[in-house]
Amino acid sequence: MRSRLAIRMQVLSFAALAAAIPAVAQERAIEFPDVDGYGTFAVDLHTHSVFSDGVVWPIIRMQESERDGLALMAVTEHLEYQPWREDIPHPDRNRSYVVASEYAAEAESEVIVVNGAEITRSMPPGHVNAVFISDANALLVESSGADYMIRLRPSTPEEQAASEREARQAIEAANGQNAFVFWNHPNWPAQRPDGVAKLTDMHRELIADGLLHGIEVANGDFYSAESLQIALDNDLAILGVSDVHYLIDWDYTPHAGGHRTATLVFAEERTAESIKEALHANRTVAWFGNWLIGREDALMPLLEASLQLTKVERSAGDKLIDIRLSNMSDAAFDLRVTSGHRFNGPPSTMRVEPHSDLDLAISGETRTSFEMAFEVLNAITAPETHPTLRLAVEVPSQ
């Protein structure tokens, strides 16, 4: 085991490297406004390092999360799938979390790191993540390397039955540790060749027994409308995750304006306990590309906090009403006016760029008090369904 001095020296070297990064690179942090009663926290609940099938050390995952402004990152190495086991043998499945948490402590990181594991099986149940666990080893069914591959790719009914039985045992063990458990990439073509997420009897049993709490509707660069419908129909938390294996900079190009797929969680405090409570309460929105995906009761407060009227006045010398829409978020809002208003300029469909203002002049409106309605085209509350943002307009007397 390395000495604390060695760990300290490694942390200092990484810190020195981070300090040399140009300031412009630090602008990649995910930023959304808080909502009424809750803080808005970006989290990533699905990550990998060399301790399963990723290609970077856990400290790199932590530093990427710091640069991305995450509040929380879960370490979720595959339990069964260990392609680098001959190069990096580690009988302790908690080791990746230990490395990441040692860095977090030494560097006094603001990112909360929590322990997790990916239960890796054939379908059903497919891959399942358990986060906020205390011991990943307790979720692992001891087998030889050959047996692991049988569990991943069973070829007989007996092998499939054993895989399902052991997967349920692992999920039950995770729930015994008060974990938050969710279904990974249900539409993954490797397990769903048609790319369509479908519930199986096993998933229905897990949900009915309270053992499955969330589902990924966005994983990496995949979105699944069927997964979203499964979440809505079965009271599961809506999640977006990076499932990163390589570098965030390679997969998501933040230097070119991209961002990792993540979950926005609305929690009372920036603590693991509060974020976990919010996940169980379904106060989540998936942030995927330029899309915001969530239940209406979770998404609407975010839209209302993100897009606000910051100026309303009647133009001098004419009857136009000047308004300013201010965007307080990282999303570029694509809006379509549904309240019948017309503008002396842009058409009824417009975009409000991130952290910027859009000035509009309303024509033909004689009232001093009215409501404007916008369909938010880059927000999704159900498959093929966009929410409507309503803004009350009060024109001050001149």
DSSP string, 41-56: EEEE--B--TTTT-SS
**Domain count for the chain:** 2
Consecutive H or E run containing 297: helix 296-306
Q: Is residue 105 part of a domain?
A: yes
Consecutive H or E run containing 150: helix 145-152
What's the confidence (pLDDT) of residue 194?
A: 96
Angle, helix 4-19 to helix 58-67, in steps of 10 degrees: 40
pTM: 0.91
Judgement on whether residues 153 and 268 belong to the same structural domain of the protein: yes
Measuring CA to CA, how many Å separate 324 from each of 77, 307, 347, 356?
Answer: 47, 10, 16, 10
Find the CATH number of the domain harbouring 379: 2.60.40
Q: State which residues of the chain have pLDDT below 50.
A: 1-25, 144-146
What's the confidence (pLDDT) of residue 19?
A: 47
Measuring CA to CA, how many Å separate 261 from each of 49, 68, 167, 242, 258?
Answer: 17, 11, 27, 5, 9
- Identify the domain boundary among 231, 266, 294: 294
pLDDT in tens, 102-136: 999 999 999 999 999 999 999 999 999 999 999 99
Judgement on whether residues 246 and 354 belong to the same structural domain of the protein: no
Q: Is residue 243 part of a domain?
A: yes
- What tokens appear for 92 in the block? 């302790």
- Collect all residues with Cβ–Cβ distance below 8 Å to 343 and sequence separation of at least 6: 360, 361, 362, 363
Its domain, for residue 380, covers: 306-394
Judgement on whether residues 268 and 383 belong to the same structural domain of the protein: no
- What tokens appear for 98 in the block? 């230990």
Judgement on whether residues 43 and 170 belong to the same structural domain of the protein: yes
Q: Is residue 17 part of a domain?
A: no
Please check whether residue 140 is in contact with residue 170, taking contact to mean a CB–CB distance below 8 angstroms.
yes
Judgement on whether residues 151 and 226 belong to the same structural domain of the protein: yes
Judgement on whether residues 203 and 178 belong to the same structural domain of the protein: yes
CA-CA distance, 120 to 266, in Å (whole number)? Answer: 29
What's the confidence (pLDDT) of residue 153?
A: 77
Find the CATH number of the domain harbouring 253: 3.20.20.140
CA-CA distance, 170 to 139, in Å (whole number)? Answer: 5
Q: Is residue 301 part of a domain?
A: no
Which of 239, 366, 225 lies closest to 298 in space, CA to CA?
Answer: 239
Q: Is residue 300 part of a domain?
A: no
Judgement on whether residues 271 and 329 belong to the same structural domain of the protein: no
What's the confidence (pLDDT) of residue 26?
A: 56
Question: What is the chain's mean pLDDT, rounded?
Answer: 91
